[in-house]
Amino acid sequence: MTNTIWGGRFTASPSEIMEEINASIDFDKRLWRHDILASKAHVAMLGETGIVTAKEAKEIARGLDQIMAEIEAGKFKFSRSLEDIHLNVESRLHELIGPVAGKLHTARSRNDQVATDFRLYVRDEIGAIAAALRALQLALAKKALQYAGAVMPGFTHLQTAQPITFGHHLLAYVEMLGRDRGRFTDAAKRLGECPLGAAALAGTSFPIDREATARALGFARASANSLDAVSDRDFALETLAAAAIAAMHLSRLAEEMVNWASPQWGFVRFSDKFTTGSSIMPQKRNPDAAELVRAKTGRIAGAFQALLMVMKGLPLAYAKDMQEDKEPVFDALDALKLGLAAMTGMVEDIEPDLRAMKRAASSGHATATDLADWLVLNLGLPFREAHQIAGRIVALAESRGSDLKKLPLSDLQSVEKRITEEVYSALDALGSVKSRTSYGGTAPANVKREAKRWIKRLEKDAETR
Ligand code: ARG
């Protein structure tokens, strides 16, 4: 038997392999809700414009509602021979209401249908991801407030650089995730044009009201060019690009958490809820969740690349290649949501070891810059000269196997005789962070203020949602 919906000009049915390569129902059934909502908006418009009668429109809408209920209840039978979600729904509509079901597809095509469904799906996902990003930001900001004054070493090149606070470090990620959220909401704005009514590619001769369907589906407007409407997937690409960048941020935080939790660093402890044991080594507390968050960046960034390659050589308008747009998006956005949830849980539960952090911040000559700054401020030396002197003092400390701040004054004075006892306060890690009061700097007072500002803002964002 040929396809009952498009099989009019065929005599033989597709081969099994053809069915297998052609069918998308196994994955696009995810679009069922959006597909039915878009069909309801379409048929309501067909009724209002008199393209179908009010009675027909009502009958079709009732059938669609029933299908929605069947799917919700898990009672709907998806069929591969019906290719995709659109034909599955339409075919069931025929079973339910008879030939009038055939009027639903007036003045539309699966091309504008799928472009609409997919936009609706991605728009919902963006909403969920933005909320998840906000939740992670809030968890980070709360920890940051709690540990605004907790001294730890800051690194560049993963070498001890200068003391910072744990709170400051966490707030760096709050900033990054804030930009991620911005990228997602920007993508949602550009996505807000409704393709429905573009039909196959050229528009339609029926007197449709595209603004009405656009409005009904919550789009800002109808897309202005029918070819563009059915043939671009830039909204999905843009969302995947935002996802890839967000995943990269999560991955960096995950990487840091893995380092911090290693016994060699001993900066943090994860809760049992986000740790696994080893089947052979009883002592282990493995940060698997963080590692998996880090690893998921691969498939998320890969999804962007995969879809970009699908799209890059396609002539206008629709080509079946574009059916391959969905799986990477589904997979990547699922992975990102899971990663965000896991990361939020980890952050909420993480416990820093303040003494280990402080100890590390006080070693590795982390306050060598403070020494140079002290020489500039108190002896009026040019910074370059002060840097030289501080460098010689660090070398001396190293040769003595001592930390900078434990060197006796006589040793300091053997390099620069004008150094006085006061220098020691500059060599203290806490004193160092307290002095970094420049805008955006790590001083605990700054961190506290910024953390509070973020918490207030993030809690307000939740209300407006
Ligand atoms: N399942 C198809 C997709 O995802 C729907 C559109 C089919 N359009 C067509 N002209 N065959 O792209």
Is 121's C-beta closer than 6 angstroms to any atom of ligand 1? no
> 160: which strand partners?
155
Per-residue pLDDT of the chain (465 residues), as tens digits, is 567 777 788 888 888 899 999 999 999 999 999 999 999 999 999 999 999 999 999 999 999 999 999 999 999 999 999 999 999 999 999 999 999 999 999 999 999 999 999 999 999 999 999 999 999 999 999 999 999 999 999 999 999 999 999 999 999 999 999 999 999 999 999 999 999 999 999 999 999 999 999 999 999 999 999 999 999 999 999 999 999 999 999 999 999 999 999 999 999 999 888 888 777 777 878 889 999 999 999 999 999 999 999 999 999 999 999 999 999 999 999 999 999 999 999 999 999 999 999 999 988 888 999 999 999 999 999 999 999 999 999 999 999 999 898 999 999 999 999 999 999 988 999 999 999 999 999 999 999 999 999 999 999 987 655
Is 318's C-beta closer than 6 angstroms to any atom of ligand 1? yes
> C-alpha angle with apex 213: 241 to 231, nearest 5 degrees?
40
Q: What is the CA radius of gyration of the chain?
A: 30
Could you give the count of Cα atoms lying within 13 Å of 113 in the half-sphere of its Cβ? 24
CA–centroid distance, 284 to ligand 1, in Å, is: 50
pLDDT in tens, 243-280: 999 999 999 999 999 999 999 999 999 988 888 877 77
Residues 6+ apart with CB under 8 A from 440: 446
CA–centroid distance, 114 to ligand 1, in Å, is: 7
Is residue 278 part of the annotated active site? The answer reads: yes
From 84, 87, 227, the mutation candidate for ligand 1 (largest count of ligand atoms within 8 A of CB) is 84
Is residue 425 part of the annotated active site? The answer reads: no
Atom 4 of ligand 1, residue of closest alpha carbon: 323
pTM over 0.85: yes
pLDDT in tens, 322-352: 999 999 999 999 999 999 999 999 999 999 9
pLDDT of residue 362: 87
Catalytic choice (15, 262, 271, 278): 278
Do the Cβ atoms of 247 and 302 come closer than 8 Å?
no
- For the packed helices 234-261 and 326-349, what is the interaxial angle rounded to 10 degrees? 30
CA–centroid distance, 276 to ligand 1, in Å, is: 44
